[in-house]
Amino acid sequence: MTKRPIFKRLDVPVGAQGGVSIPFEMQPIVQLADGRVKACELLYRGQRPADWASVDAAMLGFLSVPRPGLPPVYVNLSNDILMSRGADELARVATANDVTFELSEAVSGYGDRAAIASKVNELIGAGVRVALDDFGAGRDGLQRLYAIGNVAAIKIDREFLLTCMRRQDARRMLCMLVAQWRQEGVRSIAEGVEDNVMFAFAQAIEVDFVQGWFVDSLVAMQLLGNAA
């Protein structure tokens, strides 16, 4: 297996002493139109923690104060954290830095979807940017989309992209959705772009942004080129 390039690493300090930190990878999200890195998703890269809530809490704490030099970031927000934290606290995190919260459906462990949609709409009403993660991975993609108004972005699941690469009908539907989202000002992001075939497919269906190992390697080569 080839070694994956790490674009940037981010160590999030934990506790008042600052002696411990949690490692994150900043995975670039690249705009297809010009090949530029427009944002990064913060991905946890440490050992499997005893509880994910402590990782999420450390990240929220880190982002709750302005971090000069931090690019626009996408941060995964579990349903547990979404429902247990106040909208004002999450809004503070989203405004102290340029943060978009990603809401997953694949790891949805919280049953009350109406309550989740209501909380998300409250956040969006408070000016928080929200992206729907893993679109196409589950059964409630469109249902979830209709329950939530004014999402900033939709991240298209890798497995769903692979399905659309195999099936003409799925591909046509995705193309229509991407075009409709663009008309509505919703950005589309193809996730898990791991080789040049997937990259070419993302270009063909005209998503706005791409993310994944293959994109990481393109960015790494660009950086090498710039350094030379």
Using alpha carbons, list the distances in angstroms from residue 173 to 39, 133, 195.
27, 18, 23
- What's the sign of the alpha-carbon dihedral 178, 134, 209, 153? positive
Kindly determine how many residues on this chain lie close enough to bind Ca ion according to the rule CB under 5 A. 3
**Contact call for residue 216 and Ca ion (CB under 5 A):** no
How far separated are the first and last CA of the chain, in Å rounded? Answer: 27
Nearest distance from C-beta of residue 199 to Ca ion, angstroms: 19
Among 25, 56, 133, 157, binds Ca ion (CB under 5 A): 133
Q: Is 102 in the site for Ca ion (CB under 5 A)?
A: yes
Strand runs labelled E in the chain: 8-14, 20-31, 37-44, 73-77, 99-103, 129-135, 153-156, 187-190, 209-210
Nearer to Ca ion, 43 or 57 (CB): 43
Contact flag: residue 157 with Ca ion (CB under 5 A): no
Q: Which is nearer to Ca ion, 25 or 133 (CB)?
A: 133
Pairing between β-strand 187-190 and β-strand 209-210 as defined by DSSP bridges: parallel
Which CB, 133 or 194, lies closer to Ca ion?
133
Phi, psi angle pair for 95, to nearest 5°: -105, -25
Helix axes 87-96, 52-63, angle to 10 degrees: 60
Q: Which stretch binds Ca ion (CB under 5 A): 48-56, 127-135, 179-187, 216-224?
A: 127-135
CA-based torsion, 42, 202, 214, 227: positive or negative? negative
Question: Which of residues 17 and 72 has its CB atom nearest to Ca ion in the complex?
Answer: 72
The 44-83 contact track toward Ca ion, x by CB under 5 A, reads --------------------------------x-------
Instruction: Name the minimum Å distance from CB 131 to Ca ion.
Output: 8
CB of 174 to Ca ion, least distance (A): 19
Residues forming contacts to Ca ion in the complex (CB under 5 A) are: 76, 102, 133
